[in-house]
Amino acid sequence: MGGVWYYVVTVATAGIFAVVPFVHAATRLRRRSAWKWVGVYGAVDVVLFVIAGIWGGKDQNRHDPIDTVIGVVAVALVITACAHLRSVRREVYGVPATPPPVDPAIAQVLAARTRRTDARALAERDPLMARELGIGRPDLPGDYDDGGLVDLGSAPASVLAASLGLSEVEAGQIVDAQGSFGSVDELLVRVELPLSAWERIRDRGIVIQA
């Protein structure tokens, strides 16, 4: 929250002391362009201060068009200064800029990973529920979205091949070994599968205990 006081000073003083945050920023940044803005806002502040002082001593019960002008200028100064201070504050305090929007395709992949993590946790806590929900069995009817998991211990060869990018022969080797392993790592030890497929198997594979 560093630098929030920049806005507080500017708004609370109706722009009359808007130059103060820019003086602080110029001192910290030590850049000529920063001091240029100090001069600009300082000049405007002086004009506002002088005009406010002159008209402030007049009859407060009498409306004067100059009051409206002062108010409009003050509001414009506050808005302009606060908008300018966003980038200045970011430079001085290292406030991160608004992150760019996430690509929809990337967001979809990240969401699927999260669903796989949640489904694995559920299967570990309650294997019976996991089977009832059809986790890891896209070939069976079910409404639960497990993010694309495949149960290495029960899924047929066609599902294993399609989900893990394996050949029918390689998927058939997993089916032949079903019941002899209790985890993904045990499968990789027992069945000779291409190393290029290991990462995807670990990412998508699950073994739901009976």
Domain match, 108 and 89 both: no
The predicted structure's pLDDT at residue 96: 60
The predicted structure's pLDDT at residue 95: 63
DSSP 101: P
Closest CA to 205 of 186, 55, 190, 70: 186
The single-letter code of the amino acid at 199 is: E
Domain match, 76 and 116 both: no
The predicted structure's pLDDT at residue 133: 96
Write out the residue range of the structural domain in which residue 69 sits. Answer: 4-93
Domain match, 183 and 153 both: yes
Domain match, 79 and 170 both: no
The last residue of a domain, from among 26, 59, 93: 93
The predicted structure's pLDDT at residue 168: 95
Domain match, 148 and 110 both: yes
Domain match, 156 and 110 both: yes
Domain assignment present for residue 116? The answer is yes
Domain match, 89 and 117 both: no
10-residue mean pLDDT profile of the chain (210 residues): values are: 80 82 85 84 78 58 63 82 84 71 89 95 95 96 95 97 95 96 95 94 93
The last residue of a domain, from among 93, 112, 127: 93
The last residue of a domain, from among 66, 93, 120: 93
Domain assignment present for residue 99? The answer is no
What is the domain count for the chain? 2
Spell out a b/e string for 37-56, using b for 16 or more CB atoms within 10 Å of the CB, else e: bbeebbebbeebeebeeeee
Domain assignment present for residue 98? The answer is no
Q: What is the spatial distance between Cα 101 and Cα 98, in angstroms, rounded to a whole number?
A: 9
Task: Tell me the pairing of strands 150-151 and 205-206.
Answer: parallel
Domain assignment present for residue 42? The answer is yes
Domain match, 196 and 140 both: yes
Two structure tokens written together for 124: 């570990």
Domain assignment present for residue 157? The answer is yes
Domain match, 57 and 81 both: yes
Domain assignment present for residue 127? The answer is yes
Domain match, 198 and 115 both: yes
